Structure 1
């Protein structure tokens, strides 16, 4: 009887193909050449199209039209830089950001950072879980508590793909991002925006009073996410391992392509969300549309049932994918800071409890999403400042150490994000959130 040769996992095949490309042995060209390197940034990019983005983009577009489109583009350019540094850290050190913090900082600092990042992870999960539950609620017409249970089951199933290797999970998450992107291509086609005003709003930065500044800060807070910074470094640390300086530099260039494509897609999706709200609600004089449920209900009489259905589907894809990615980020944070981890299903079970409590006691979902974004904003400096600090150190990064201009640019981005997020927190508290 002929002995069956076991098939390699798709993850192992991906690593081998990538190493052949790096060593110049691969005969592939074009997309097939870069395909083995694509994936980590797509998982990280899910944090940039999560339900928190839906809430801020809809409010901004309905209230101010296309005005704040330039904020979305600028925020995503900053996010590209931050995620590039995170990917580079994992490649250069073979460790993730949380692990390096544990090695380099005093124990009390490490414990404080871990506690803060766990709070951030829970706030993130709250927003993402609620978003997916809203998606089920709006599409299927089921009560929100039942939608929450469906969300829990779905995220458990998605996380189960992690056992099959990184490639399976990357494929699932990328497919979700694709669903969101296609949904907003359809929405943009249906709402027929004024492309002249769109271009003007992208190219001419401006505000229209304090409220627009607050919403702009909210967009930034929902765009640059602390848990995604920790996660991305973990996704690249052991994915494709090379230690020769030239191969590491080459690998990093391919990862930059991954970041550019994934974060570019996230930028376009966020812009499409705001364009949809501006073209549909603001143009019709419905400037007070401020919740996801209102947007879903209002879309049908304005653009037809297909538009509201597509919107609900994109929200569901966003919530399910980001809830799964948020759980992965929580694992990385605990393992990195404490050198301890729990089974992913236990973490999923524990972190969804606050979300289910919010659903069962009947808190308003969109308002809860906004509050969660404030919590994320508070945690952001504790991720981005260590990232810039570590990637600027030669003894940590070796040949991939930041160029001086990169460090300056990243430091300015970090400073801007910190200042704007302090502004967001102060104003949110002043208004009673």
Structure 2
């Protein structure tokens, strides 16, 4: 098969948007309601002193996600499917189990935050809204093929601009904010260390690796022209360039939004002594008397939009991991009858996440333990993923080398150090 040339007007904004997919959606989904809560918490508590972490995570996130995308595009298989083929089953099953736990807790927190966000806007029952959101999202994932669903996810990325707009509604002392970003007042305390770990864990998560690799596979299946690069190396140059551009744009977008969420919390909540934020809905409510009703409305509406984007990514990533680990058919482009395990896991994950909102479990503590589980799972998944990306049996002539490989190892080292800090801090506080 011959390589597919990009459109003649590939440099136009519309043509570029059409070529963006897995990287853009993955980056946007990273700023889910749980992530918004984390960024709001650190911004409210430490002001401008954690803004620098975004510039640390951005290049690391880009490198790791490029690796994930290339694994899917080159091999034609998802991440956990590849891991199962090349590494011990007991290890892959263990990582899959950790991923399920973390993702279900995240789903529950995101579903609850969406219900709380809509209640802030129109009143009513947050639980009823949460259950309705989860049902609608689940039906969309099960009954709409990915090729028709993907454009909808792209549209939802626009909701993240609500957090950029919120900053400009508030009055930002830009000179002070930039100074705090470039010359941060780092605090050598356990709380500050945990805040940095929380930002890292929120930004670099295993479910994002699974999703981006899987979406490259989905797009191969949905296209009459694309094939795995192992079998059609002549498509390689354009495909690798597209993945890098898509991923860079998606991760830069994600981190810019995260920066503005921290900045919003710093300039409004922290500046007015509101240091204790427990959820994204709390952050929105606290904005109302400080930054005005419009800022409050933007922030609350953004929670719903980002949640609608994040739910299919979290549930889908869980299903991709489980189906891949057990070598079962998978894919949002397949019908449920042809991928029973995949859709079964997706449905169960959504139901369990929704049901968490009907239990007395504290969602903040649940998110805390989700971060702990992610911290445990992220490092070994990253190590195996990077080793796999340089495995000629899996990647052929498209092994990942150069700056992407070294930045990926640096990201792994930093995440490992963050996990150690997290456990040491937990030990001291217990």
TM-score range, shorter chain: 0.7 to 0.9
Q: Distance in 1 between matches of 2:126 and 2:380?
A: 34
Q: Distance in 2 between matches of 1:141 and 1:110?
A: 44
Q: Which residue of 1 aligns with 2:353?
A: 355
Q: Distance in 2 between matches of 1:159 and 1:172?
A: 11
Per-residue CA deviations over 1:155-190 (Å, capped at 9, x if unaligned) read: 124325642x42x32221122221122x11220111
Q: Which residue of 1 aligns with 2:61?
A: 79
* Root mean square deviation, CA, Å: 2.4
User: Contact between 2:30 and 2:203, CA under 8 Å: does it hold in 1?
Assistant: yes
Per-residue CA deviations over 1:181-231 (Å, capped at 9, x if unaligned) read: 2x1122011112121223223333551132212101101111111011012
Q: Distance in 2 between matches of 1:136 and 1:278?
A: 24
The alpha carbon displacement at 1:423 in A equals: 2.1
The alpha carbon displacement at 1:345 in A equals: 5.6
1:173 maps to which of 153, 164, 169 = 153
User: Contact between 1:130 and 1:319, CA under 8 Å: does it hold in 2?
Assistant: no
User: Contact between 1:34 and 1:254, CA under 8 Å: does it hold in 2?
Assistant: no
User: Does residue 267 of structure 2 align to residue 287 of structure 1?
Assistant: no
- Gap change, CA 1:268 and 1:413, over 3 Å in 2: same
Q: Which residue of 2 aligns with 1:144?
A: 126
User: Does residue 307 of structure 2 align to residue 328 of structure 1?
Assistant: no
Deviates more, 1:371-380 or 1:276-285: 371-380
User: Does residue 292 of structure 2 align to residue 315 of structure 1?
Assistant: no
Q: Structure 2, unaligned stretches of length 5 or more?
A: 221-225, 329-338
Q: Which residue of 2 aligns with 1:275?
A: 263
User: Does residue 17 of structure 2 align to residue 29 of structure 1?
Assistant: no
Q: Which residue of 1 aligns with 2:336?
A: none
The alpha carbon displacement at 1:94 in A equals: 1.4
Q: Distance in 2 between matches of 1:293 and 1:135?
A: 6
The alpha carbon displacement at 1:344 in A equals: 6.0
Q: Which residue of 1 aligns with 2:26?
A: 44
User: Does residue 203 of structure 2 align to residue 218 of structure 1?
Assistant: no
Q: Which residue of 1 aligns with 2:419?
A: 421
Q: Distance in 2 between matches of 1:157 and 1:408?
A: 41
Deviates more, 1:400-409 or 1:255-264: 400-409
Q: Distance in 2 between matches of 1:101 and 1:374?
A: 22
Query: How many residues are treated as equivalent by the alignment?
Result: 410
2:180 maps to which of 157, 179, 201 = 201
User: Contact between 1:128 and 1:320, CA under 8 Å: does it hold in 2?
Assistant: no
Per-residue CA deviations over 1:10-38 (Å, capped at 9, x if unaligned) read: xxxxxx9x96425xxx4323135434431
Secondary structure of residue in 2 paired with 1:370: helix
- Gap change, CA 1:428 and 1:47, over 3 Å in 2: farther
User: Does residue 163 of structure 2 align to residue 184 of structure 1?
Assistant: yes
Deviates more, 1:82-91 or 1:234-243: 234-243
Secondary structure of residue in 2 paired with 1:66: helix
Q: Which residue of 1 aligns with 2:335?
A: none
- Gap change, CA 1:309 and 1:387, over 3 Å in 2: same
- Gap change, CA 1:29 and 1:352, over 3 Å in 2: closer
Q: Distance in 2 between matches of 1:343 and 1:387?
A: 24
- Gap change, CA 1:406 and 1:20, over 3 Å in 2: closer
Per-residue CA deviations over 1:268-324 (Å, capped at 9, x if unaligned) read: 110110010001011112223343333222211112222212111111112221111
**TM-score, length of structure 1 as denominator length:** 0.87
- Gap change, CA 1:232 and 1:78, over 3 Å in 2: same
Q: Distance in 2 between matches of 1:314 and 1:366?
A: 20
Q: Distance in 1 between matches of 2:354 and 2:238?
A: 45
User: Contact between 2:163 and 2:260, CA under 8 Å: does it hold in 1?
Assistant: yes
The alpha carbon displacement at 1:131 in A equals: 2.5
Q: Distance in 2 between matches of 1:146 and 1:426?
A: 40
Q: Distance in 1 between matches of 2:374 and 2:413?
A: 16
The alpha carbon displacement at 1:237 in A equals: 2.6
Q: Which residue of 2 aligns with 1:409?
A: 407
2:387 maps to which of 386, 389, 408 = 389
Q: Distance in 1 between matches of 2:260 and 2:140?
A: 26
Deviates more, 1:312-321 or 1:107-116: 107-116
**TM-score, length of structure 2 as denominator length:** 0.88
The alpha carbon displacement at 1:343 in A equals: 6.0
Per-residue CA deviations over 1:63-104 (Å, capped at 9, x if unaligned) read: 111111110221122111110111111122112211111111
Alignment of 1:1-12 (within 5 A): none
User: Contact between 1:123 and 1:373, CA under 8 Å: does it hold in 2?
Assistant: no
